[in-house]
Amino acid sequence: MQLLDGKKTAEDIKVEIAAEVQKMKAKGEKVPHLAAIIVGNDGASLTYVGSKVKACERVGFESTLVKMPSTTSETELLRKIKELNEDDNIDGFIVQLPLPDQIDEQKVLMAIDPSKDVDGFHPENFGKMALDMSTFIPATPFGILELLERYNVDTAGKHTVVIGRSHIVGRPMSILMGRKGFPGNSTVTLTHSHTKNITQITSQADIIITALGVPNYLKAEMVKDDVVVIDVGITRVADENNPKGYVITGDVDFENVSKKASFITPVPGGVGPMTIAMLMKNTLLAREQKMA
Ligand code: GUN
pLDDT tens digits, one per residue of 118-170 = 999 999 999 999 999 999 999 999 999 999 999 999 999 999 999 999 999 99
**149 inside domain:** yes
Cis geometry, peptide bond prior to residue 183 (ω within 30 degrees of 0): yes
**pLDDT(292) > 80:** no
Pocket test for ligand 1, best of 39, 53, 96 (most atoms within 8 A of CB): 96
The residue whose CA is least distant from atom 9 of ligand 1 is: 96
Residues at the annotated binding site for NADP(+)? 164-166, 234
CA separation for the pair 257, 42 (Å, rounded): 32
**261 inside domain:** yes
Number of domains in the chain: 2
145 shares its domain with 259 = yes
198 DSSP assignment: H
31 DSSP assignment: P
* Residue 52 annotated in active site: yes
Q: Residues 225-234: what's their mean pLDDT? A: 98
Cis geometry, peptide bond prior to residue 268 (ω within 30 degrees of 0): yes
Q: Which residue range forms the structural domain that includes residue 241?
A: 139-272
State if residue 95 touches ligand 1 by the CB under 6 angstroms criterion.
Answer: yes
State if residue 139 touches ligand 1 by the CB under 6 angstroms criterion.
Answer: yes
CA separation for the pair 277, 104 (Å, rounded): 28
184 shares its domain with 241 = yes
Long-range contacts of 70-79 (CB under 8 A, 24+ apart): 70/39, 70/40, 70/41, 70/100, 71/100, 72/39, 72/40, 72/100, 72/103, 73/102, 73/103, 74/102, 74/103, 74/104, 74/107, 74/108, 77/37, 77/39, 77/103, 77/108, 78/107, 78/108, 78/111
Handedness of CA 21, 24, 26, 30 (dihedral sign): negative
Burial class (CB in 10 A: 0-12, 13-18, 19+), 243: exposed
Residues at the annotated binding site? 164-166, 234
CA separation for the pair 270, 247 (Å, rounded): 15
State if residue 211 touches ligand 1 by the CB under 6 angstroms criterion.
Answer: no
* Residue 96 annotated in active site: yes
**265 inside domain:** yes
211 shares its domain with 95 = no
147 shares its domain with 107 = no
In this prediction, residue 290 carries a pLDDT of 83
146 shares its domain with 265 = yes
Pocket test for ligand 1, best of 39, 105, 119 (most atoms within 8 A of CB): 119
Q: Dihedral through CA 11, CA 268, CA 136, CA 17, nearest 10?
A: -10
32 shares its domain with 146 = no
CA separation for the pair 46, 236 (Å, rounded): 14
Average model confidence (pLDDT) across the chain: 97
Q: Residues 1-10: what's their mean pLDDT? A: 98
Nearest to 140 by CA among 107, 164, 115, 111: 164
Give the phi and the psi of residue 49 in degrees, each rounded to 5: -65, -40
Do 34 and 63 meet the contact criterion of CB atoms below 8 Å apart? yes
| 77-116 pLDDT tens trace | 999 999 999 999 999 999 999 999 999 999 999 999 999 9
**Amino acid identity, position 122:** H
The residue whose CA is least distant from atom 3 of ligand 1 is: 97
With cut-offs at 50, 70 and 90, classify the pLDDT of residue 291.
Answer: confident
**44 inside domain:** yes
* 79, 113, 147 - which closes a domain: 113
88 shares its domain with 143 = no
**108 inside domain:** yes
| The pairing of beta strand 2-3 with beta strand 263-264 | parallel
**19 inside domain:** no
82 shares its domain with 177 = no
**9 inside domain:** no
76 shares its domain with 197 = no
264 shares its domain with 199 = yes
| 99-110 pLDDT tens trace | 999 999 999 999
* Residues contacting 260, CB < 8 A, separation 6+: 220, 223, 224, 225, 226, 227
157 shares its domain with 266 = yes
State if residue 119 touches ligand 1 by the CB under 6 angstroms criterion.
Answer: yes
* 68, 97, 113 - which closes a domain: 113
155 shares its domain with 261 = yes
In this prediction, residue 128 carries a pLDDT of 97
In this prediction, residue 134 carries a pLDDT of 94
Do 173 and 196 meet the contact criterion of CB atoms below 8 Å apart? no
Residue 244: HSE in the Cβ half-sphere, 13 Å Cα cutoff: 9
What CATH number does the domain containing 86 carry?
Answer: 3.40.50.10860
The CA-based angle 86-87-93, given to 5 degrees, is: 95
**155 inside domain:** yes
* Residue 22 annotated in active site: no
In this prediction, residue 169 carries a pLDDT of 98
What CATH number does the domain containing 239 carry?
Answer: 3.40.50.720
